């Protein structure tokens, strides 16, 4: 222990600074690579390492099967789908309310490739994504001419048309009207049957795709999308090809939706049923990105967690108040809360939970100083 007298003014300030652990000063960047890093603040990088460690090591060993299979897997998969929708609606500004249909396309394609044609599982899931991307780009063609609410309603057309095609086209639905069970999963002969293995499968798709997505929106394509969202006439004037970028937005977002659809069919539902991708799911995805934050990769995950956990909280809440409220009201309370929360977030924090998180980090950067 160093014994010294009363600290001088300079030492006193240094102590204050040392308690500012979340700061960018003192971090010197010597290369362009360091300058363009996604996480410039060292604490952020540590935080990311911790999160990945928790996700890959701690959760599978500590979490119960119920948590893994009923909460974490849907959370991850729907966050992936919400991320795709965020590319289209949050970054590129094209409102889409038929996104669940692309999940369905990915699901059925993956199932057909794996179940009928014996394509390896990973390739089937990616194949589902690619086919969904192709279908999505077809339904993105109207975006060349149509804007705003008209475009939103045409994406609704995608929802209905795809629903009809998947149920009536015999080659797809295998002659069975509705549900097609998934065959047991194997990767290179190694069976994926426990929740832990399914969790790893989902994680191994979600993490690389999220990193890819984060870099995509920080790059040229993401900036073009944001320019189109903010003022597309001006974007066109400075040379951004509207059609190409809008179409790419539809393609990429449908790819993510397709992969998510395939994943959720194989790891959560166990069967492909078009009812699992109906219009309510589309609205839930939209709610996820509104509450989580449009135009934010992290926001998709916040929104996904919120919407996935909401029914569980409501269940517990309802049980606590079960004696007081009518049963009919209890049954509909998740609709009321879902709708109310969307309005609440739009009024209070239009950029969603991600903006709240960002504000917190900004305050942390200056802590303990107020500004």
Partner 1 sequence: MVFAIEVVIGGLLVGVMYSLVALGFVLIYKASGVFNFAQGDMTLLAALALVGFLTFLPLWLAILAVLVIMIALAFAIEAVVLRPLVARSPLALFMATIGLGFFLQGIGQGIWGTDPKGLHIGISDIPFDVRGLMISQFDLVGAVLSGGSVFALVWFFQKSRIGRALRAVSDDHEAALSVGIPLGRAWAITWAIAGAVALVAGVMWGTRLGVQFSLSLIALKALPVLILGGIDSIPGAIVAGLIVGASENLAEVFLGPYVGGGIQTFFPYLLALLVLWFKPYGMFGREIIERV
Residue ranges binding partner 1 (CB under 8 A):
93, 95, 142, 145-150, 152-154, 156-157, 160-161, 163-164, 167-168, 231, 233-234, 237, 279, 283, 286-287, 290, 326, 328-329, 331-343, 346-347, 350
Cα separation, 363 vs 305, whole angstroms: 24
- What is the rounded (10 degree) CA torsion for 82, 83, 86, 88? -100
Backbone angles phi, psi at 179, to 5 degrees: -100, 135
For partner 1, the closer of residues 157 and 360 by Cβ is: 157
Whether the Cβ atoms of residue 297 and residue 357 lie closer than 8 Å to each other: no
CB of 91: closest distance to partner 1 in angstroms?
13
For partner 1, the closer of residues 191 and 350 by Cβ is: 350
CB of 348: closest distance to partner 1 in angstroms?
9
For partner 1, the closer of residues 52 and 157 by Cβ is: 157
Cα separation, 183 vs 249, whole angstroms: 33
- What is the rounded (10 degree) CA torsion for 101, 301, 260, 74? -100
For partner 1, the closer of residues 184 and 339 by Cβ is: 339
CB of 147: closest distance to partner 1 in angstroms?
7
CB of 231: closest distance to partner 1 in angstroms?
7
Task: Find the distance separating the first CA and the last CA of the chain, reported in whole Å.
Answer: 34
CB of 175: closest distance to partner 1 in angstroms?
12
CB of 160: closest distance to partner 1 in angstroms?
4
Q: Is the dihedral of CA 348, 351, 356, 362 positive or negative?
A: negative
Whether the Cβ atoms of residue 290 and residue 80 lie closer than 8 Å to each other: no
DSSP 3-state percent helix, strand, coil across the chain (nearest 5): 75, 5, 20
Cα separation, 30 vs 226, whole angstroms: 29
Whether the Cβ atoms of residue 81 and residue 236 lie closer than 8 Å to each other: no
For partner 1, the closer of residues 3 and 233 by Cβ is: 233
Cα separation, 335 vs 352, whole angstroms: 19
For partner 1, the closer of residues 78 and 139 by Cβ is: 139
CB of 170: closest distance to partner 1 in angstroms?
9
For partner 1, the closer of residues 68 and 158 by Cβ is: 158
């Amino acid at each position: 222990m160093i014994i010294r007298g009363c600290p001088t003014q300079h030492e006193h300030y240094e102590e204050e600074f040392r308690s500012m652990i979340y700061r960018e000063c003192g971090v010197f960047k010597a290369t362009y690579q360091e300058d363009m890093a996604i996480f410039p603040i060292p604490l952020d990088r540590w935080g990311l390492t911790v999160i990945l460690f928790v996700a890959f090591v701690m959760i599978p060993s500590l979490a119960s099967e119920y948590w893994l299979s009923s909460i974490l897997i849907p959370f991850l998969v729907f966050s992936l789908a919400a991320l795709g929708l965020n590319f289209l609606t949050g970054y590129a500004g094209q409102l889409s309310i038929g996104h669940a249909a692309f999940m369905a396309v990915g699901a059925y394609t993956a199932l057909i490739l794996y179940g009928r044609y014996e394509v390896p599982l990973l390739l089937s899931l990616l194949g589902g994504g690619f086919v969904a991307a192709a279908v999505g780009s077809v339904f993105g063609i109207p975006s060349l001419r149509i804007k705003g609410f008209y475009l939103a309603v045409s994406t609704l057309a995608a929802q209905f048309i795809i629903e009809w095609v998947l149920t009536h086209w015999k080659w797809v639905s295998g002659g069975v009207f509705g549900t097609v069970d998934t065959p047991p999963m194997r990767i290179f002969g190694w069976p994926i049957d426990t929740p832990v293995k399914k969790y790893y499968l989902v994680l191994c798709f979600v993490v690389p795709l999220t990193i890819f997505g984060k870099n995509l929106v920080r790059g040229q394509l993401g900036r073009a999308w944001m320019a189109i969202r903010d003022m597309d006439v001006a974007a066109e004037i400075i040379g951004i090809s509207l059609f190409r970028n809008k179409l790419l937005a539809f393609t990429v977002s449908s790819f993510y939706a397709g992969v998510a659809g395939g994943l959720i069919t194989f790891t959560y539902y166990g069967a492909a049923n078009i009812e699992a991708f109906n219009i309510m799911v589309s609205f839930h995805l939209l709610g996820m990105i509104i509450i989580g934050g449009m135009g934010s990769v992290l926001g998709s995950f916040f929104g996904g967690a919120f919407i996935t956990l909401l029914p569980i909280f409501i269940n517990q809440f309802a049980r606590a108040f079960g004696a007081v409220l009518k049963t009919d009201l209890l049954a509909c309370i998740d609709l009321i809360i879902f709708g109310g929360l969307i309005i609440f977030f739009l009024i209070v924090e239009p950029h969603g939970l991600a903006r709240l998180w960002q504000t917190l980090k900004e305050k942390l950067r200056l802590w303990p100083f107020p500004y």
